[in-house]
């Protein structure tokens, strides 16, 4: 299994977490990003995540490889969904195991920040009003 997953259907997060549990790890840190019901004053009914999947996989895998070189971690995995997700659905999940908590926290934060900046994923919000709007995901 790749360390970076693009999924068009729900993923078993507990299986991803179990794969990070190794004897040398003393700590685990994870981040889950969910579709929330409001954004900038509008009621959101769901988000459509679009990606250039081959490029997203390549860049996401590069990010996870970077984190393994930059931080003293045991393992790391990240997953991002594509397609339409209703409010409450998990859109992104990151897990990191390490001997010590500081490395796990730092690596987890690095991964989400880099995904938001570098991975070609765009989101189109669907509002309760029936309107839709593209939301900027990347900072240049």
Burial 118-128 (b: 16+ CB within 10 A, else e): ebbbebebbee
70-93 burial: b if 16+ Cβ within 10 Å, else e: ebebbbbbbbbbbeebebeebbbb
| Residue range 54-113, pLDDT digits in tens | 999 999 999 999 999 999 999 999 999 999 999 999 999 999 999 999 999 999 999 999
Residue 134 within a domain: no
Question: 3-class DSSP state for residue 57?
Answer: helix
Instruction: Give CA 68 to chain center in angstroms.
Output: 17
CA distance 118 to 134: 17
pLDDT in tens, 22-59: 999 999 999 999 999 999 999 999 999 999 999 999 99
Residue 60 included in any domain:
yes
Name the token pair of 35.
């579709």
Q: Can you tell me the distance from the alpha carbon of 60 to that of 8, in angstroms, rounded to the nearest whole number?
A: 16
**Distance (Å, whole) CA 26 – CA 74:** 10
Tell me if 102 sits within 8 A of 110, measured CB to CB.
Answer: no
Residue 140 has pLDDT above 50, yes or no: no
Domain extent, residue 115, equals: 4-34+52-121
Q: Is residue 63 part of a domain?
A: yes
The answer to whether residue 89 is domain-embedded is yes
Asked whether residue 9 is domain-assigned, the answer is: yes
Whole-angstrom distance, CA of residue 23 vs CA of residue 10: 28
Please state the pTM of the whole predicted model: 0.94
CATH code of the domain covering residue 111: 3.90.1170.40
pLDDT of residue 139: 55
The number of C-alpha atoms within 13 Å of 131 and in the hemisphere containing its C-beta is 6
């Amino acid at each position: 299994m790749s360390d970076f997953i693009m999924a068009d259907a729900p993923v078993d997060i507990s299986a991803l977490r179990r794969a990070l549990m190794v004897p040398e790890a003393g700590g685990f840190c994870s981040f889950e990003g969910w579709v929330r019901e409001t954004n900038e004053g509008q009621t959101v009914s769901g988000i459509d995540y679009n990606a250039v999947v081959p490029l997203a996989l390549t860049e996401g895998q590069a990010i996870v490889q970077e984190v393994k070189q930059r931080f003293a971690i045991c393992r790391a995995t990240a997953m991002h969904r594509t397609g339409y997700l209703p409010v409450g659905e998990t859109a992104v999940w990151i897990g990191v195991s390490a001997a010590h908590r500081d490395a796990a926290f730092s690596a987890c934060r690095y991964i989400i920040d880099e995904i938001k900046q570098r991975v070609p994923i765009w989101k189109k919000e669907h509002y309760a009003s029936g309107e839709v709007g593209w939301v900027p995901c990347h900072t240049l």
